Amino acid sequence: MQPRKASESSIIMTELVLPNDTNLYGNLMGGRLMYWMDIAAALAASKHCNAPVVTASVDNISFEAPIKLGNVVHIEAKVTRSFNTSMEIHMNVWGEDFTHQYKYKSNEAYYTFVALDPNHKPRAVPAVIAESEDEKKLFESALRRRQLRLILGGKMKPHDATELKALFQAT
C-alpha cells in the first residue's frame, strides 16, 4: 500500500448558520457543529484511505468563540497520521462574519476514524507523508495523543505509553 501525502486528504467544508442551527442566544448549537465536524473528518479519512470509515473517537472540543446566526462555518480537516487501521484527523473550525467582514477561529479538535473492508471489518490504511512544518508537528505529536486516547479508553496501560513517559522522564 502506497503512503499518501497528508495534503491529499485535505478538505474544507462550508456551511451557513441558519435559524434551525442555533440556540436561544442565536449561536450555532455545539451538537450541530460536532455533526458537521464528524462529516468533514469522515470525508478526509475516506479520501486518505479510499474506503468507508467509521468514527472511533472524538477528542476534547473546546469552543473558543461562538458562531452566530447568519455567519459561515469553515471546517478544515486533514489526516495527520495513520496507524494500522485507524487515522487521526485534525480539524480547525472558523467562523466568518460577512456583514462585518472578518474571520475568526471557533475551535479545533482531533477525531479518530477506522477504515472498513467490504465485510465491515477494520482494514489497513496507507501511511501518511507529512511535508509542511505544521504537518510534521501534527504527525510527531499524534502518537502521544493516540496513547492518551488508548489509556483513557482502557485499551492501554499507562506504563506501556512510551511516548507519554518520554515527556515526563529526564534525559
User: What separation, in Å, do the N-terminal and C-terminal C-alpha atoms of the chain show?
Assistant: 37
Nearest CA among 31, 39, 32 for reference residue 17: 32
Instruction: Confirm whether 151 is domain-assigned.
Output: no
Q: Does this model's pTM top 0.75?
A: yes
Instruction: Confirm whether 142 is domain-assigned.
Output: no
Instruction: Confirm whether 143 is domain-assigned.
Output: no
Mean pLDDT of the chain: 94
Determine the 3-state secondary structure of 73 from DSSP: strand
Lowest mean pLDDT among 37-46, 143-152, 159-168: 159-168
Residue-wise pLDDT for 1-40, tens only, equals 899 999 999 999 999 999 999 999 999 999 999 999 999 9
Instruction: Confirm whether 171 is domain-assigned.
Output: no
Instruction: Confirm whether 102 is domain-assigned.
Output: yes
- Which residue is associated with the grid cell 479510499? 50
User: Is pLDDT at 171 greater than 80 in this prediction?
Assistant: no
Q: Domain range spanning residue 52?
A: 4-130
Instruction: Confirm whether 162 is domain-assigned.
Output: no
Cell reading at 74: 469553515
Q: What is the CATH number of the domain that holds 123?
A: 3.10.129.10
Please give the tally of structural domains in the chain: 1
Instruction: Confirm whether 155 is domain-assigned.
Output: no
Angle, alpha carbons 163-123-115 (nearest 5°): 80
Do residues 78 and 102 touch, judged by C-beta distance below 8 A? no
Instruction: Confirm whether 9 is domain-assigned.
Output: yes
Cell reading at 58: 472524538
Q: What is the mean pLDDT of residues 107-113?
A: 96
